[in-house]
Amino acid sequence: MLFELYTIWGQNMKITTVVITFLVGGLLISSSISAMIAESHKEDILNELREKRLQDIEKEISVPTPTGLYHTYQEMTDLLHDLADNHSDIMSLTSIGTTYEERDLWMVKLSDNVEEDESEPEVLLMGAHHGNEKPSFEVLIYFIQHMVINYTKENTDDDGDGSVNEDPIDGEDNDEDGLTDEDPSEDRVREVINNTEIFIIPMFNPDGVEAGTRKNCAPNHGPFGFKGEITSYGVDLNRNYGYRWFFLFIFPELYLGSTHYNDNSNVYHGERPFSEAETRAIRQFVNSHQIEICLTYHTYGELILYPWGYTKLPALHKQKFVSIGEGIEKINKYALAQSIFLYPTLGDACDWLYGRKGIIPYTIELGTSHAPGDPEVIREMSITHVGVNLYICETAESL
Ligand code: 0X9
Ligand code: CA
Ligand code: ZN
């Protein structure tokens, strides 16, 4: 009797095992199929963008933008001084260097005990490597204001629905009221400011911003600076970092087009690595800090890009890039990919930050055009990326 029971039980176990294996197998197959579809969808996005982006970059000269929509360098400078004066306990403003046209490279620090270098995780946020990519500094100016204003605010029922902080900026409709991210948490802002040190350079290329150009405005004297006369103006700062910079001369067929040694090209990499005042300033800053994560904002493409930009080989920390990147994906709904799959570059900020400094950096390509003309688009993108920046700070805390 007992024996029979055992055999029935045993048979049931076998059937159950078969069923379970079948189910799990099916799940695995279907999830890997959907992952494959997601991947090939991403490839489509990148393939479509690639040609258009490269053409756009080469034909860009000066892009005029409607006045009043974006801050000018001077307006931003005045605003940052005001904010730092009025919130001096949590915000400081320093210049990490000056440009060829003698504009300051403003660096905002947000943290409690802001004048002290505490042992808190450090995050770096940068905008406007390219002067014609205006939303890239606008989202950071918005973030700075959001942080200092909410730091001292009571928890508030922002949408007046009777509950407080029920829908944080995470890209989801947490309270299922049909609205997304409409009641962010003031406590969350306080926690991030108290537990991290956030460094923000909203306008890394102010000369380019003022001229409306991708490159900075320093004069060139031929590709290597050997010529007496001025041959052209400007270096693409996102090709001037000293990581694999020389590969252009070894493998020109791999990189020419999206990186260039001709000084009149819009992707000109400069006379030598770190030939520019801007890249030298950030190198010095990074060398004297312990940055954990960096976001560098650009336009456009709705992409989240992680190293490498110079090779298709996966980075050693690919898993980390993907898992943190998926967190960003959830908030802004952009597509996450390795940089090179947009196109290959040499000397971009992220390859250097990761390759030389061990920092976890992402390039965020905002929006669907260089400089949208609709203020509502800029506002929405700014709010979403407050969420992204907060998430990155919280991630830095748990690294
Ligand atoms: O080309 C760039 O510097 C960035 N794109 S942009 O259109 N804003 O100019 C992308 C840099 C990311 N790195 C690679 N794609 N390798
Ligand atoms: Ca602090
Ligand atoms: Zn850019």
103-113 average pLDDT score: 98
pLDDT at 252 over 80: yes
pLDDT at 3 over 90: no
Predicted local confidence at residue 41, as pLDDT: 81
The angle, 0 to 180 degrees and rounded to 10, between the axes of the packed helices 186-195 and 375-397 is: 50
Please tell me the distance between residue 231's alpha carbon and the centre of ligand 1 in angstroms: 25
Q: Which of 303, 338, 342, 362 to mutate to test the pocket of ligand 1 (most atoms within 8 A of CB)?
A: 342
Question: Tens digits of per-residue pLDDT, 328-369?
Answer: 999 999 999 999 999 999 999 999 999 999 999 999 999 999
Give 4's pLDDT tier (boundaries 50, 70, 90): very low
Predicted local confidence at residue 54, as pLDDT: 84
Q: Exposed (0-12), middle (13-18) or buried (19+): which is 13, by Cβ within 10 Å?
A: exposed
Predicted local confidence at residue 100, as pLDDT: 98
137-141 average pLDDT score: 98
Residues 6+ apart with CB under 8 A from 260: 239, 248, 267, 268, 269
Q: Which residues of 85-110 are buried (b: 16+ CB within 10 A; e: fewer)?
A: eebeebbebeebbebbeebbbbbbbb
pTM comes to 0.90
Question: Tens digits of per-residue pLDDT, 142-180?
Answer: 999 999 999 999 999 999 999 999 999 999 999 999 999
Predicted local confidence at residue 81, as pLDDT: 98
Q: Which of 47, 56, 365, 369 to mutate to test the pocket of ligand 1 (most atoms within 8 A of CB)?
A: 365
Residue nearest to atom 15 of ligand 1 (CA): 339
Question: Tens digits of per-residue pLDDT, 261-294?
Answer: 999 999 999 999 999 999 999 999 999 999 999 9
Q: For the chain, give every domain's residue range.
A: 2-44, 62-396
Residue nearest to atom 3 of ligand 1 (CA): 238
Ligand 1 near 171 CB (within 6 A): no
Between 34 and 206, the higher pLDDT residue: 206
Between 85 and 19, the higher pLDDT residue: 85
CB distance 205 to 163 below 8 Å: no
Residues 6+ apart with CB under 8 A from 242: 273, 274, 283, 347, 352, 356
Which residues form the catalytic set? Answer: 365
Ligand 1 near 339 CB (within 6 A): yes
- Ligand in closest contact with the CA of 266: 1
For residues 27 and 208, give the distance between their C-alpha atoms in angstroms, rounded to a whole number: 51
DSSP H helix total and E strand total for the chain = 11, 10
Q: How many residues does the chain have?
A: 399
pLDDT at 17 over 60: no
Query: What are the helix (H) ranges across the chain?
Result: 2-59, 73-86, 135-151, 186-195, 206-211, 247-250, 252-255, 277-287, 318-332, 349-355, 375-397
What dotted CATH number matches 62-396?
3.40.630.10
- What are the CA-CA distances from residue 213 to residues 15, 65, 235, 281, 340 (Å)? 68, 11, 10, 20, 24
For residues 207 and 215, give the distance between their C-alpha atoms in angstroms, rounded to a whole number: 9
Q: What is the mean pLDDT of the chain?
A: 92
Between 113 and 2, the higher pLDDT residue: 113
Give 1's pLDDT tier (boundaries 50, 70, 90): very low
Question: Tens digits of per-residue pLDDT, 291-308?
Answer: 999 999 999 999 999 999
72-78 average pLDDT score: 97
